[in-house]
Amino acid sequence: MVNLIDFLQHQNLVWHGTGNAPLSQRLVEKQSSGYDALDACLEGGFPMPGIVDIQCQLGMGEVALLIPFIRAHTRLCVMINPPANVNAHALKHQNIATELIWILSISDPNNALWAAEQCLKSGVCSSVLLWHQALQVHQVKRLMLSAQTGQSLCCLLRENRVQVGSLPVSLSMQLSPRSEGLNIKVTKLKGGWAKPQITLAWSLLWPQLITHSESERSGQVLPFASTARR
C-alpha cells in the first residue's frame, strides 16, 4: 500500500489539503482573477503557471469570466478552437488590445494540443485558452510542463460531462448560469480543499446587460419628436 501511494504521489495523482501539502504546492504563485470574491475563494486567484479546467455549457460566459485576467497581462492570449467567432469590437470595448489576441482554428485534436504546448512554453503568451473535449492524464501533464516552462496559464474549456478519473490540473471549476449571476463551484484546488459555490453578480461581469427598474428608467426616457414632414 505504501509503495502504491508513493507511486501515485510521484505521478501527481494524490492531492493534499493545504495543511499537509508539500511546500512546493503551498507556494504556488497566484494571479488575480479580477474579481475579489473569486480571488478569496481561490486563496489569491488563478495559479500561474498552471492549468485551469473550466467545465460549463459553452458560450454561457466562460470567456467573459477570463476577460479581467487577459486584460491585466501584456503578453499574448491564444485561443485555440473557440466554438464561435470572437468579436474584436467586444474585446476593444473591454479595453483589450486586439493585437494581443491570436485565434487558431485547428481541426485535428492532436495538432491542437501540440499548438497549445508550443504557445505555452514559448514565453510570449500569458495564457492559452483551449477548447478540447477528450483530454487524457498524460496530455494534461505535457500541458502543465509547457506552462511551467513559459510561466503561463492554460485554460481548458469543455462541456459539462462525466470525466473518467481525475485530471492533474491546478484548479477545476464548474460554471452554471443563475438569474442573478454566474454560479461557480470549485471542485479542485491544488494545495487546498474544494470550496463552497459562489455567485458572481451579472453587474460585475456585464453591467451593460443589467435592466433597471421603472423608477430608475423614468428619468432617462426622452420624449419622441417626429421629424416627418406634414
Q: What would the mean pLDDT of 68-92 be, rounded to a whole number?
A: 93
The answer to whether the CB of 49 falls within 8 A of the CB of 212 is no
Give the chain's mean pLDDT: 81
User: What is the rounded (10 degree) CA torsion for 32, 103, 75, 50?
Assistant: 50
Residue 110 has pLDDT above 60, yes or no: yes
- C-alpha cell read off for 197: 459555490
Domains of the chain: 20-206 (3.40.50.300)
Q: Which of 136, 175, 184, 182 is nearest to 157 (CA)?
A: 175
216, burial (CB in 10 Å: exposed 0-12, middle 13-18, buried 19+) = exposed
The answer to whether the CB of 173 falls within 8 A of the CB of 54 is yes
pLDDT digits (tens, 9 = 90+) for 127-185: 999 999 889 999 999 999 999 999 999 999 998 765 556 789 999 999 998 877 789 99
pLDDT for res 98:
94
